[in-house]
Structure 1
């Protein structure tokens, strides 16, 4: 495919757009615009990012930006790739499971450090070089694992979805707790989270209302299984002394347990057929015993 046939946004992401042919060498660049937008989002949130506002910070007109970024939608696409730029693979034990754990935790930490990332529309997530480089890290970890390419891609996709879900839960519950603390203390709504007492924010986490509702408001005979589970929880969970890192570790561990079980099953028998042929993952699969992962397909 010729460069001219590739969408302009992808060409810019991959540095293939070139600079404008007419006029003097521009003082602006796509990279400078994107970094300015990211700094603005870090300081004031994604809602503050607009072509006009970025231009104001750069000391130019909004029209000058359009020579390098054709729209706000494209700017968001560039931001979605930019946020992966600083990601680096942490040290780990060297096996594939610890590697995937480190890879996933690094993304969760990055998302929590720049919460505006979670506000980016999914449509903005174009395939840029920073995201591809980070995917390469995961595939390097899986290089010696006995899975097909499509299965490895499914594992990476599953973990990427876990990142979004886990980061969103951690972030939104923390923000809700911070709002509650501000209201109770009569603080301005824009008081930074960093200026609030971390212990007070943790104790105000709305997830703790769950136990209160079941214990104090629900009828005694209702929801017996939930109440039994709550009665079996460690006291810190119910008193507000949450450990977000432990919660993340537990959730990620459960996901990786499933991946590990799948890998073991694959090494014990022939691979399942590709999706669509009536076996595992295909639209005609009905969950028959012989079609389960690790069992020999029927027939």
Structure 2
């Protein structure tokens, strides 16, 4: 496949579009469009991002945007790569495990800071240069590990899936708790989470519904193994779950499994 046969979205992502002819510098650019889309998503969520809304925020018509970005799908691909460019790349650690731990954690924290990231259809969006740099960094951390390239790619993919799963659970629990507090307190739907009472958020956490089910509805007669295991664990915590502790726990188990696999393959 020649470069001219590469889809236009990929060429635009990778900066391989034709240079503009001489003349006055265009007042609108792909970079401005993507930055405006990110600001709109930060303020109102990904559902608010449309070609028309982005154009309005920049003071242009939607048709003006289409001269730079072919479609909303292309805009989302550019937006995903824009987010990857904003992430602080972790320093390369002396050992692969601590490097991959930092690599994964940075992405989880970033996704929690911008929950609309989880609404991007990442599985079908073509990768841009900044997303590929993150993959390149992970491969660099695995340099010297006795695995094939295919195995390294599978491990990186596993950690990428963990990023999405962990961030989604944390984000959806937080969203549900905040929505419940706004509803019960009669607050406007756009009240930010930082303005809500932390005690109210803790009480509204979906984990409390899980506790109610286990304590009062799913009795030991029907679920004896679960009841016995949780009886040993003691009472459920009453405060807001510690996000860092939960990230540490899940990521530690995943990396334990990867380390065991590496040792087995090296042997």
TM bucket (normalised to shorter chain) is over 0.9
Question: Which residue number corresponds to residue 147 of structure 1?
Answer: 147
Partner SS state of residue 28, structure 2: coil
Cα contact 1:104–1:160 (8 A) shared by 2: yes
In the TM superposition, residue 24 of structure 1 has moved relative to its aligned partner by: 5.2
Distance 1:104 1:172 in 2: 19
1:243 counterpart = 2:250: no
TM-score (norm: length of structure 1): 0.84
Question: Which residue number corresponds to residue 218 of structure 2?
Answer: 218
Distance 1:91 1:6 in 2: 33
Question: Which residue number corresponds to residue 257 of structure 2?
Answer: 258
Question: Which residue number corresponds to residue 77 of structure 1?
Answer: 77
Deviates more, 1:20-29 or 1:38-47: 20-29
- Count residues with an aligned counterpart: 267
Deviates more, 1:237-246 or 1:108-117: 237-246
In the TM superposition, residue 20 of structure 1 has moved relative to its aligned partner by: 5.0
Cα contact 2:220–2:228 (8 A) shared by 1: no
Distance 1:92 1:80 in 2: 23
Question: Which residue number corresponds to residue 38 of structure 1?
Answer: 38
In the TM superposition, residue 206 of structure 1 has moved relative to its aligned partner by: 0.4
1:54-69 map, 5 Å: 54-69=54-69
TM-score (norm: length of structure 2): 0.94
Distance 1:26 1:193 in 2: 39
Cα contact 1:178–1:201 (8 A) shared by 2: yes
Distance 1:33 1:124 in 2: 21
1:160-239 map, 5 Å: 160-233=160-233, 235=235, 237-239=236-238
In the TM superposition, residue 244 of structure 1 has moved relative to its aligned partner by: 1.5
Distance 2:123 2:162 in 1: 18
In the TM superposition, residue 86 of structure 1 has moved relative to its aligned partner by: 1.5
Cα contact 1:81–1:125 (8 A) shared by 2: no
Distance 2:92 2:133 in 1: 18
Q: CA RMSD in A?
A: 1.8
Distance 2:202 2:139 in 1: 36
Partner SS state of residue 239, structure 1: coil
In the TM superposition, residue 62 of structure 1 has moved relative to its aligned partner by: 0.8
1:26 counterpart = 2:21: no
1:102 counterpart = 2:73: no
Cα contact 1:77–1:125 (8 A) shared by 2: yes
Cα contact 1:20–1:67 (8 A) shared by 2: no
Partner SS state of residue 144, structure 1: coil
Cα contact 2:177–2:201 (8 A) shared by 1: yes
In the TM superposition, residue 26 of structure 1 has moved relative to its aligned partner by: 2.1
Task: Spell out, residue by residue over 1:137-182, the C-alpha distance to the aligned partner (whole angstroms, 9 max, x if none).
Answer: 1111111211110000000000000000000000001100111111
Cα contact 2:40–2:48 (8 A) shared by 1: yes
Distance 1:229 1:208 in 2: 18
**Which consecutive residues of structure 1, in runs of 5 or more, have no partner in the other structure?**
269-299
Q: Which has the higher contact order (CA 8 A, sep 6+)?
A: 2
In the TM superposition, residue 53 of structure 1 has moved relative to its aligned partner by: 1.0
In the TM superposition, residue 250 of structure 1 has moved relative to its aligned partner by: 0.5
